[in-house]
């Protein structure tokens, strides 16, 4: 009963502050320039080498736009490079460009973006680091991102690279013409299907590639099962997966390479955007777990024991009952709830995911506080405190970091809310 009452309270409070001024306040002090994305996709190009295709994706909102006579313009310089384990630079690409938009609204978009890519041919016998940099030429602010790619394939040994999903997009993107690689996270449009690129290293004996669609069901679906005879020492194959084979929000694939009784396996997922599902959700299993603050104990436990397809139907049903505008596809309550979950993960992580922390719980239930007070530790006491005040609902929460490691916990628990 207590949990149910808190759920109702959450809905009432939430609807009162749904699109309040505090959304802009919580982002104001974040360093936007570092919010660009750096990613890589790889495929074998000969028996000893592979190609690393690096991508930079720059949302318009991370740059400073200046008003001009023809609209708004932002100037930037971006680069992508690769270094080996010894720190030697294999290659580097630099782009200096501008973005012009007509509407001010577009300058704040996280969806509109500029993409750059560069392929780098490297030896398969090494570990690499990719580095992406972005500088706003107006503010001079600079962001840097790095990622380690631990390949280290042995000579004449079976090797399977991480498979790549490919979507239709006009132009050249480092793979087949008109195909752009994606990690398959909340893809909005896939048309009739997607391509799957599987690549690796083999010897001259026959080998088998198998692709299974698992999706947490009783029986796996065989998507591909092909036998090959190869004399090159590597392979780079493409397969088409029809969209009607991917009916779930999150589709799990198992890719297996077998040769001479030796097996290599990779597991990947492809998440589709679905109408009525928040844009912040890519995993229904996790999304249901994250509802623990607003579901009663029995419903929460039973929902986590169902198969994937049953979970999706249950998820729709649970949120339909809490939809403030049930006659539309867009559920404002769901989208705001998972926006808060996303914010908690970005800002309150520590020993566990941000949404599971005490600060994450309070933020998810009540949104951004009206005021945050922070204490400075004295010489004799290293305990840190944060005091969150919600004036509009007359609530205050005190968080204590006993050891100074950023693990802030509620000084007093919220009645009716326990970890289930």
Write down the pLDDT at residue 20: 41
From 58, 201, 36, 41, select the one nearest 120 (Cα to Cα). Answer: 41
Write down the pLDDT at residue 381: 61
Question: Residue 346 has which token pair?
Answer: 């970005």
Q: Which residues on adjacent β-strands are paired with residue 106? A: none
The whole-angstrom separation of Cα 382 and Cα 283 is 39
DSSP code for 133: E
From 272, 279, 299, select the one nearest 288 (Cα to Cα). Answer: 299
The whole-angstrom separation of Cα 21 and Cα 166 is 39
Instruction: Produce one character per residue of 8-44: b if its CB has 16 or more CB atoms within 10 Å, e if not.
Output: eebeebbeebeeeeeeeeeeeeeebbebbebbbbbbb
Question: Residue 208 has which token pair?
Answer: 């088998």
Pairing of strands 127-136, 142-150: antiparallel
Residues 6+ apart with CB under 8 A from 170: 178
Reported CATH class of domain 31-154 = mainly beta
Q: Which run of H or E residues covers position 199?
A: strand 193-201
The whole-angstrom separation of Cα 163 and Cα 266 is 8
* 403, burial (CB in 10 Å: exposed 0-12, middle 13-18, buried 19+): exposed
φ/ψ bin of 256: left (φ > 0), alpha (ψ from -120 to 50), beta (otherwise): beta
From 202, 255, 204, 208, select the one nearest 228 (Cα to Cα). Answer: 208
The whole-angstrom separation of Cα 99 and Cα 116 is 13
- Under a CB-based contact definition with an 8 Å cutoff, are residues 154 and 200 in contact? no
Number of Cα atoms under 13 Å in the Cβ half of residue 179: 18
- Under a CB-based contact definition with an 8 Å cutoff, are residues 399 and 327 in contact? no
- Under a CB-based contact definition with an 8 Å cutoff, are residues 164 and 41 in contact? yes
Whole-number Cα distances in Å, 154 to 27, 74, 323: 46, 46, 55
Residues 6+ apart with CB under 8 A from 47: 201, 232, 233, 234
Write down the pLDDT at residue 4: 44
The residue extents of the domains of the chain are: 2-29+274-410, 31-154
The DSSP-derived string for 170-197 is SS--SSSTTEEEE--SSBS--TTEEEEE
The whole-angstrom separation of Cα 80 and Cα 115 is 12
The DSSP-derived string for 336-390 is HHHHHHHHHHHHS-SSS-GGGSHHHHHHHHH-S-SEEEEPPPPSS---EEEEEEE
Residues 6+ apart with CB under 8 A from 298: none
| C-alpha radius of gyration, the chain, whole number | 25
Tens of pLDDT along the chain (420 residues) come to 444 444 544 555 554 444 343 344 444 434 689 889 999 999 999 999 999 999 999 999 999 999 998 899 999 999 999 999 899 999 999 999 999 999 998 998 888 999 999 999 999 988 999 999 999 999 999 999 999 998 878 777 899 999 999 999 999 999 999 999 998 876 777 888 899 999 999 998 999 999 999 875 556 688 889 999 878 899 999 999 998 888 777 888 999 999 999 999 999 998 877 777 787 887 888 898 999 998 887 777 776 666 556 777 888 888 888 888 888 878 889 989 999 998 898 888 767 899 999 999 999 999 999 999 987 655 556 678 899 999 988 999 999 987 777 788 898 877 544 332
């Amino acid at each position: 009963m207590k949990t149910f009452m808190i759920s109702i309270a959450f809905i009432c409070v939430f609807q009162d502050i749904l699109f309040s001024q505090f959304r802009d306040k919580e982002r104001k002090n974040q360093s936007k320039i570092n919010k660009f994305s750096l990613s890589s996709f790889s495929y074998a190009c000969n028996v000893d080498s592979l190609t690393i295709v690096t991508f930079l994706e720059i949302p318009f909102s991370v740059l400073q736009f200046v008003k001009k006579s023809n609209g708004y313009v932002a100037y930037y310089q971006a680069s992508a490079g690769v270094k080996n384990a010894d720190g030697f630079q294999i290659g580097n690409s630099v782009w200096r460009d501008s973005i012009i938009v007509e509407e001010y609204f577009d300058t704040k978009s996280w969806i509109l973006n500029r993409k750059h890519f560069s392929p780098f041919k490297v030896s398969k016998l090494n570990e690499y680091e990719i580095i992406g940099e972005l500088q706003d030429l107006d503010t001079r602010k600079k962001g840097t991102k790095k990622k380690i790619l631990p390949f280290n394939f042995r000579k004449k040994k079976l090797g399977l690279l991480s498979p790549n999903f490919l979507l239709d997009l006009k132009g050249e993107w480092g793979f087949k013409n008109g195909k752009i690689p994606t990690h398959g996270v909340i893809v909005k449009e896939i048309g009739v299907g997607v391509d799957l690129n599987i690549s690796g290293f083999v010897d001259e004996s026959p080998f088998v590639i198998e692709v299974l669609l698992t999706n947490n069901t009783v029986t796996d679906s065989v998507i591909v099962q092909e036998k090959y005879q190869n004399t090159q020492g590597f392979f780079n194959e493409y397969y088409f997966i029809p969209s009607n084979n991917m009916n779930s929000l999150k589709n799990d694939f198992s890719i297996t390479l077998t040769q001479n009784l030796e097996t290599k396996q990779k597991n990947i997922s492809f998440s589709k955007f679905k109408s009525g599902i928040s844009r912040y959700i890519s995993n229904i299993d996790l999304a249901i777990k994250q509802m623990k603050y607003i579901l009663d104990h029995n419903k929460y436990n039973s929902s986590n024991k169902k198969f994937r397809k049953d979970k999706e139907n249950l998820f729709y049903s649970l949120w339909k009952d809490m939809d403030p505008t049930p006659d539309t596809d867009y559920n404002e309550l769901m989208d705001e709830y998972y926006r808060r979950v996303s914010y908690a993960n970005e800002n309150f992580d520590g020993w566990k995911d941000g949404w599971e922390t005490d600060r994450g719980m309070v933020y998810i239930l009540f949104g951004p506080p009206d005021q945050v007070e922070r204490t400075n530790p004295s010489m004799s006491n290293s305990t840190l405190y944060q005091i969150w005040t919600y004036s509009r609902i007359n609530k205050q929460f005190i968080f204590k970091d006993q050891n100074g490691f950023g693990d802030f916990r509620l000084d007093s628990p919220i009645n009716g809310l326990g970890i289930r």
